[in-house]
Amino acid sequence: MEVILKQDVLNLGQKDDIIKVKDGYANNFLIPQGYASFASVSAKKVHAENLRQRAHKEEKIKNDALVVAKTIEGISLKISTKTSTTGKIYGSINTLQIAEALEEKGITIDRKQIMLPVDQIKEIGTYTATIKLHREVKIEIQIEVITE
Check which CATH number belongs to the domain holding 87 and give it. 3.10.430.100
Tell me what the mean pLDDT of segment 127-143 comes to. 91
CATH number, position 61? 3.40.5.10
Last residue of a domain, one of 68, 96, 113: 68
Quick one: average pLDDT of 66-84?
A: 90
| Co-location of 83 and 53 in the same domain | no
Looking at the structure, do residues 140 and 112 belong to the same domain, yes or no? yes
How many domains are contained in the chain? 2
Contacts for 38 with CB less than 8 Å, ≥ 6 apart: 1, 2, 3, 4, 26, 31
82 & 141 share domain:
yes
- Mean per-residue pLDDT, 45-65: 93
Biggest alpha carbon–alpha carbon distance for the chain: 72
| Mean pLDDT score, 5-13 | 92
- The confidence score (pLDDT) of residue 135 equals 83
Give the per-residue pLDDT at 148.
82
Instruction: Say what the pTM is.
Output: 0.67
Burial 108-128 (b: 16+ CB within 10 A, else e): ebeeebbebeeeebbebeebe
- Could you tell me which of 102, 97, 95, 96 has the C-alpha nearest to residue 80? 97
Domain membership of residue 52 as a residue range: 2-68
Q: Are residues 61 and 95 in the same domain?
A: no
Query: What percent of the chain stands above pLDDT 70?
Result: 100
Encode pLDDT of 80-124 as tens digits. Answer: 999 888 888 888 888 999 999 999 988 899 999 999 887 778 888
Cα–Cα distance measured from residue 109 to residue 87, given in angstroms and rounded to the nearest whole number: 29
CA angle at residue 130 from 97 to 112, to 5 degrees?
A: 55
Among 42, 68, 94, give the residue marking a domain's end.
68
